[in-house]
Structure 1
Amino acid sequence: MRLAIRLHHILLILCLALALGGCTPRRADKALPKVTTPTDLRADPGYVQWLEKQAMLRSSQELSRIVSDTGIQWLSPSVAPRPETLLQEAPVWLTLHPASVLTNDNESLFKTLLHPEFWRQSQKLGVRGLLLSPLRESGGIWGYDISGTQFLGADTVQYGFSKYAGTPDEYRRLTRAANTADAVMGDTLLPAATGMGADFFLSARAKPDYQGIYCMIDIPAEAWPLLPQITEQWQAEPVSAESAQELRKQHILPPLRLRETLDLPLEPFGWAATGEVRGIDGTSRRYVYLYHGSPSRPVLNWTDPSANARKVVSGSIIQQVGTLGVAFTGISVAPYVGIETTNPAGQKDMAIAADNARNAAATIAQEVRRYGGWSFLQDSLPLPMQQLLMREGPDVALDHAGSVSALAALLTGNATMLHTTLDIQTSLGMDKGRLVHAIMPSEGMDMSLRHLYGIADDKLPALREHYRREMMRIITASGGDILVKNNVLHTTPAGLVGLAAGIRDMRHLTPEQIAELNRGMTALAAYHAMQPGIFIVSGKELAGTLPLKQGLVPARNEDEALLQNMMGAYDLLNTARQSLITPLGMPKAQTVFGSIPEQALTPYSFVWNLGRILAARNHYKIQNATPVAVLPAKNSGTIMQLLNLPRKQGNTLMLVATNFGRQKATETVTIQSAWAKLNSRSSVHDILAEDETASPLPPDGNTLALEGKKLTLELGPWQTRAILIGDKSKFAVQPKK
C-alpha cells in the first residue's frame, strides 16, 4: 500500500486538526444578526471577522503549523514523478460525481459508499481506486450564509466537504473501507481558478493579509466609466475588448496577456469587473480581475510576492493528503497558460506559454509527493504543452487527446485522427504508462480538438477542420437536443454513442438500440483498458446515463445548464429505494444499463463485459505494457497497436485492434522478426473473445490461425479485440484468486 506517515505524526495531525478546527470551515450560525443592506453588510467589522473564519488562507495558515518544523515533509522523495508505484497499487479507478449519485433517504455520499455491497462489486469488477470529485464547498458566499454554493465543483471556495458529500469522520471510515478492499482514495485539489468565496471578498475589501491572492487590479475612480455598468455591488461582468484596450492605453491594465494572442481554443479567459465595493477602511473601490471559464471563477495569482495563492493551494494539499490520507489528487493549472505578458520579440511558442503552468504543476506535484501521495494533471491542453507540464510535475495525466480522438473515430467511423494522435504522442516522447485513459472527459466532448494545436505540421489544420465539420454533421443529423457551446458537445458517453448510432429518439429505446449502445460503449472501454497506464471508468458510464431533458433543472446561466445536462442521477447499487433526486438537487436520469449488481448477473451487459475486460487487463498487467508500434490498417475505421507485455509474461506481444466503423473489417498483420521470434510453439489467442467462463485466459476455441508470420483478423462493427502472440505456455497462467 502507499507510503504511510509515521504513527506519531498521524496522531499529531489529527489532534491538531481537531484542536484548531480549521480543516472544515463551519457554516454561519443562524443566530447572527439579520442583514439590512449589502452596503451596511460590507462595512460591518463583525461580518469581515466572520468571513475570515470561512477563508481558506486563514485555514491554510493553521494547517501549515502541522507540517512546519517537523520531519513529515521529508518522509517521501518528491522531485521526480513516480508513476510506477501508482500503477502497482491502483491501475484501475472508478470516479463518481457527488451530484449524480442517488442515496437512500438523502444520506451523504460517503455513508452510501460505506455499503459492503459497493466494495464487493468494486472488487469483483477489478477496481483498485475510488476518485470522488468535486467534494468541497463551491460557488460563492452571500451575506452570512453560504447559500450561493452550487454543485458543479469547478468554483471551490472552501477546504471543507460539502454537507451533501459527508463529514471528515465518514470520509476516514470510507478510506478504511477502501483499504480493506485493497483500494485507495482519490480527490482533486483547489484549482487555479476558484469561486468567489470569502478569500475573494476579503481581497476586494483591501484586507491587507488577503491581498495578492487573486490577479486583481484596483481601478481609479476616473476610469470607472470604462467599466461595465453594474447595479448590484457584487455582480461581476466581463470587461469589453474596447474598454480593456483603453485601460491598457492609460497604463491601468497591463499589456496583453500572451494567451490573448495565441491561436489556441482554450476556455474563455479575460478581465472582469466588480461592482463598487466598500473596503474595511471605508473607501469604495472597483476592481478588475482575471477570470477563467466565467467571471465567477477568479484566477489565483501564483507569482505574487506575498505567496498567498501558494499558501491557499498548500493548505489544500495538507488538508487532503496530510490529514485525510488521500492517495491520488487532481491538479488543474490551465488558468496559468499564457498568463504572462507578451514579450517584445513576439515569441509565442509552447514553452513560453506553458512556463507559469509548468512551474505551478511541478511545485504542487512535488508537495503532494512529500506527503506520500500521487497527483494527476486534469487539464485538457495541446499535446506539446501537456508533455512540458509532465516532465517534473504530476505523476500521471488524463489522456484527453486519446479520449477525444477515440470518440471522434466512433462518431465518424474514421480512425485517421486517432492514428495521428498516437503518432504525435510517440514523436513527443510521451510515456504512455503515465497516461490516465478514460472513455470520455467529464467536461464533455471537445470538438475543437485542441490537443492537435501547437504542432509544426501543415496537414493538421485541414484535418481538424474536416473532423469538426463531419462530427457536427453527424450529431445534428440525429436530431433531438444537441447542446454545443465553445466547440464542446455537452452529452453523456452513452448519449454520444447514441448519436453515433443515428438514434433520434433516445427516450424510447428498443432492445436492438440498447444492444447497439452496449456494443459501442464496450468497444470504447476495451480500447482504453488495453492501453498502458491507468484506466478510469465513471459511474455514469457504468449506468449508461442519458442526457437530462433541457429545462428540467433550474440554472442560473447557460453554462450551468449545459453542465447539468450531463449530470443526471443514477442508482449505483439499486438501494436508493424511491429516491428520484439527489441531496444536491439533481433528478434521476434515464439509464440504459441499470445498477451494478443487476448488470453483474446479466451476461453480456456492459458491466459484465467490462468485468471480463478488466480481468484480462489486470491478469496480463497491461498497465505495464510497452508500446511497440501503431500498425497500418487497410480499413479507415480500424486502429491496430502492438504492445510488449511485461517480462513476467514471457516474450509475448499483444495486438490491440478496434474497428470504429459500422461495417465488418478484415485486416492482415505481418509479424516482423524485430517484434517477436516466432517458432513452432507460437500461437495466437484472443483474450477478449466471449465465452461462458468470463476468464481472462484464452479458451482453446479462441486460437487464431497464424500462417507463417501473417495473421488475418476479422473485426465486427464497433469491436475491440486483444490478441496474444507468443508461446502459450508463457502466458496461459491461472490468475490469482
Structure 2
Amino acid sequence: ILGDALYALDCHGARGIRLDANGFLGVEARAEGPAWSESHPLSITGNQILGGMIRKAGGFSFQELNLTLDDIAQMSKGGADLSYDFVTRPAYQHALLTGDTEFLRLMLQQMHAFKIDPASLIHALQNHDELTTELVHFWTLHAHDMFMYKGQTIPGSILREHIREEMHERLSGEHAPYNLRFVTNGISCTTASLITATLGIRDLELITEDDIAQIQKIHLLLVMYNAMQPGVFALSGWDMVGALPLPAEAVAERMLDGDTRWIHRGGYDLAGLAPEEQASVRGIPKARDLYGSLDSQLQRSDSFASMVKKILAVRQAYGIASSKQILVPEVDSPGLLVMVHELPAGKGIQISALNFSAEVISEELTLAGFTPGTVVDMINETVEGDLSEDGRLMINLEPYEALSLRIVNSSGHF
C-alpha cells in the first residue's frame, strides 16, 4: 500500500492520496466470531505509518473510514490528515428526507463529544459510492448505549433501525423506484434523485421546469450545509450537471453481481464538448442532466454552477474552511439547523442557518456570549437584522432556504 502511495506521489504527480478501508489494515483471528480488525492496534499503527510517510513525501491523505466515531477519532491521531464525513452525511440526508434535523443535531453533538473537529472532515455531496445508511456507530460499539431522540431515551440499535427504515422507505421502493438498494449498506442514488424523492416525484420522466427550479434550490441548500462549516467541501461532476440515475436496464450487465451503484455513475459532458455523444469513452450511458453543462451554466447568473461559485467565493473570502465550530444550538422548529462558527483572523462570528423542511420558519434564537451587532447576509450582502444586547436573533427562512450570516464587529466569549 505504501509503495502504491509513493508511486502515485512521485510518478503521477498526485498530492492527495485516498485511503479506503484503512481501518481494517490489521486482522487477527478470534476463537469465536468474526476476526478482530476494527480498532486493532495494527490498524491504528499501520494508518499512522501510511499517513506519516505520505506527509514525508510531500503529500496529504484522507481516509474513507465508515466506522464508529471512536475509531474515526482514534484513526485520525497521527494517521490520515482528513476523514470523509461519515459522521453527518447520512444525517443531513435524513434531515432532508424527513424535514426534521433532530438526528442531524444529535450527530453534530456526538461529533463534538468525541472531539472530532469538523475542520478535519471532508463534507461532500455525491460520490461514486451509495448513500450509506449503515450507521456503524449505533450498530456495534454503541448498540446498547442510550440516546435521547423524539423525547424518548432509546438504545443505539433501535435508533439505528428507526433512522434506516425512514430513509429506505422515503428514498427507494414504491416511493422512488428509480433509486435502488445496495446490499445492506444503503441506497444507490444521485443527489438530484435524493431531492426528487424528497419532493415526492415518483416518475423522473414527468419532471417539469418548476420541479427543476425547486430541485436546484434544495441542491443549493445541501451545498450550503457542507460548504458553510469548517473543513473541506467536495462535490462531483454529477452534482454540477444535476445528473439523474440511469434506468436499471441501461446498466443491467454491470449489475449482474448485485452492484446497483452503476445507476448513479452515468456519463456526463461537464464542458459541453460532445453533446451528441450518448455514452462515455468507457461505455457508460449518458445520464439525463437537469442543469446542463458547466459552460452553459456559467453564462447564467441564476444557474446552479453560478450560485455555487458565489457561495465558494464567500467561503474563501472569510476563511470558513478554517473557522471553529463553537455552537450548535437547540431549536424549536423541526426543520431548522443552526451552526455558529468563529471566523479566523478576527473576522467575527458566522452563523449557518438552514431550513431542511417545506415549511416557513420564523424563530428567535438566544445566542449568549456574543457582542451585539448588525447581522449581514454574507452571500446577498443585505442586512438581515441585529443581534440584541441579550443575545436574541430572529431567523426567518423560506422553505429549503439557507443563509450564511455574519455578526459585524462581533467576537465570541468562548
Q: TM-score, normalised by structure 2?
A: 0.90
CA offsets 1:301-350 (integer angstroms, 9 cap, x no match):
xxxxxxxxxxxx23212211122221111011357277312269x99999
For the residue of structure 1 that corresponds to 2:316, the secondary structure is helix
**Aligned residue number for residue 393 of structure 2:** 711
Residues 1:417 and 2:120 aligned together: no
Q: Is residue 321–residue 327 contact of structure 1 (8 Å, CA) maintained in 2?
A: yes
User: Superposed, which structure 2 residues align to 1:119-518 within 5 Å?
Assistant: 313-334=1-22, 336=24, 339-342=27-30, 353-453=39-139, 454-455=141-142, 457-459=145-147, 460-475=156-171, 476-484=173-181, 485-518=183-216
Alignment of 1:37-48 (within 5 A): none
| Structure with the greater alpha carbon radius of gyration | 1
1:598-646, CA deviations, whole angstroms, 9 ceiling, x for partnerless residues?
Answer: 1112232211111111011000000110111110111112111111000
Tell me, yes or no, if the aligned pair for 1:545 and 1:591 is still in contact at 8 Å.
Answer: yes
Write the distance in 2 (CA, Å) between the matches of 1:385 and 1:579.
Answer: 45
Determine whether 1:687 maps to 2:373.
no
Contact 2:175/2:200, CA 8 A, preserved across alignment: yes
Q: Deviations over 1:478-534 (max 9, x none)?
A: 243341131410011111111111111112310111011101110000110011011
**C-alpha distance after superposition, 1:647-696 (max 9, x if no partner):** 242xx1111111111111122112312xx223xxx21111133xxxxxxx
Letter in 2 for 1:661: S
Tell me the SS of whatever aligns to 1:702. Answer: strand
Do structure 1's residue 720 and structure 2's residue 399 form an aligned pair?
no
Against the structure 1 CA distance between its residues 499 and 577, is the aligned structure 2 distance closer, same or farther, given a 3 Å change threshold? closer
Query: Could you say which residue in structure 2 is the equivalent of 1:246?
Result: none
Residue pair 1:403, 1:440 contacting (<8 A) in 2 also:
no
Quick check: 1:417–1:463 contact (8 Å CA) kept in 2?
A: no
Among candidates 616, 621, 627, match of residue 325 of structure 2: 627
Mark the CA change 1:669 to 1:486 in structure 2 (over 3 Å): closer, same or farther. same
How do 1:88-99 and structure 2 match up within 5 A? none
How many angstroms apart in 1 are the aligned matches of 2:255 and 2:289? 26
The amino acid of 2:306's aligned partner reads W
Query: CA, structure 1 residues 388+551, in 2 after alignment: closer, same or farther (shift >3 Å)?
Result: same
Distance 2:160 2:397 in 1: 27
Q: 1:687, 1:496 → 2: CA distance?
A: 28
Q: CA deviation at 1:561?
A: 4.6
Output one character per residue of 1:368-420: Cα deviation in whole Å (capped at 9) or x when no partner.
Answer: 11110000002322221111111110011111222111111101111111111
Rounded to whole Å, the distance in 1 between the matches of 2:145 and 2:343 is 32
User: Using a 3 Å threshold, how does the CA distance of structure 1 residues 520 and 665 change in structure 2: closer, same or farther?
Assistant: same
Q: CA deviation at 1:357?
A: 2.5
SS at match of 2:146: coil
Residue 366 of structure 1: how far off its partner (Å): 1.3
Matches of 1:537 and 1:440 in 2, distance apart?
A: 6
Alpha-carbon contact 2:126-2:238 (below 8 Å) kept? no
Maintained 8 Å contact 2:349/2:406: yes
Task: Please give the alpha-carbon distance, in whole angstroms, between the structure 2 residues aligned to 1:397 and 1:575.
Answer: 34
Contact 2:22/2:43, CA 8 A, preserved across alignment: yes
Do the aligned partners of 2:168 and 2:187 also contact (CA within 8 Å) in 1? no
Query: Which residue of structure 1 lines up, in the alignment, with residue 151 of structure 2?
Result: none
Large movers: runs of 4+ above 3 Å = 346-350, 556-561, 705-708
TM-score, normalised by the number of residues in structure 1: 0.52
C-alpha RMSD of matched pairs (Å): 2.3
Q: 1:477 and 1:668 mapped to 2: Cα distance? A: 39
Cα deviation code 1:232-274 (max 9, x no counterpart) = xxxxxxxxxxxxxxxxxxxxxxxxxxxxxxxxxxxxxxxxxxx
Contact 1:533-1:624 within 8 A present in 2 as well: yes
Relative to structure 1, the CA distance from residue 559 to residue 388 in structure 2 (aligned partners, 3 Å threshold; closer, same or farther) is farther
Asked if structure 2 preserves the Cα contact closer than 8 Å seen for 1:333 and 1:361, the reply is no
- Deviation at residue 446 of structure 1 after TM alignment: 1.4
**Aligned in 2, Cα 1:347/1:367: closer, same or farther, shift over 3 Å?**
same
The 1-side partners of 2:91 and 2:328 are apart by: 15
Q: Does 1:637 align with 2:335?
A: yes
Task: Go from structure 1 to structure 2 and tell me whether the alpha carbon gap of 1:326 and 1:704 turns closer, same or farther (over 3 Å shift).
Answer: same
**Secondary structure of 1:627 counterpart:** strand
CA 469–341 in structure 1, closer or farther in 2 if over 3 Å, else same: same
Could you tell me how far apart the structure 1 residues matched to 2:26 and 2:45 are? 12
Query: For residues 109-149 of structure 1, what are the alpha-carbon distances to aligned partners after superposition, in whole Å with 9 as ceiling and x for unaligned?
Result: xxxxxxxxxxxxxxxxxxxxxxxxxxxxxxxxxxxxxxxxx
Letter of the aligned partner of 2:164 in structure 1?
A: R
Q: Distance in 1 between matches of 2:34 and 2:261?
A: 36
Letter in 2 for 1:442: H
The one-letter amino acid paired with 2:400 is W
| SS at 2:341 equivalent | strand
Q: Secondary structure at the match of 1:711?
A: strand
Name the residue aligned to 1:555. 253
Aligned CA distance change for structure 1 residues 318 and 627 (closer, same or farther; 3 Å): same
Displacement of 1:468 after TM fit?
1.6
Post-superposition CA distance 1:450-479 (Å, at most 9, x none): 244423632332322221222222233524
Code of the aligned partner of 2:10: G
Q: Which amino acid aligns with 1:373?
A: G
How far apart in 2 are the matches of 1:614 and 1:498? 25
- Partners of 2:36 and 2:9 in 1: CA distance: 35
Indicate the residue corresponding to 2:152 in structure 1. none
**Residue deviations 1:675-725 (CA, integer Å, cap 9, x gap):** x223xxx21111133xxxxxxxx2xx4332444331101111112111101
Seen in structure 2, the aligned counterparts of structure 1 residues 410 and 643 have a Cα distance that, compared at 3 Å, is same
CA distance in 2, matches of 1:622, 1:402: 18
State the AA in 1 paired with 2:374. S
Partner Cα separation in structure 2 for residue 378 and residue 718 of structure 1: 29
What per-residue deviation string (whole Å, max 9, x for no partner) do you get for residues 183-214 of structure 1?
Answer: xxxxxxxxxxxxxxxxxxxxxxxxxxxxxxxx
Paired residue secondary structure (2:395) = strand
- The answer (yes or no) to whether the contact 1:421–1:452 under 8 Å persists in 2 is no
- Equivalent residue of 1:631, what SS? coil
Query: Aligned equivalents of 2:321 and 2:298: distance in 1?
Result: 24
Letter in 1 for 2:61: S
CA pair 703-661 structure 1, distance change in 2 beyond 3 A: closer
> Identity over the aligned pairs, expressed in percent?
25
Contact kept, 8 Å, 2:25 with 2:46, in 1: the verdict is no
1:524 counterpart residue number: 222
8 A Cα contact 2:63 2:84, kept in partner: yes
Q: How many residues align?
A: 398
Q: Is the 8 A contact 1:527 1:656 kept in 2?
A: yes
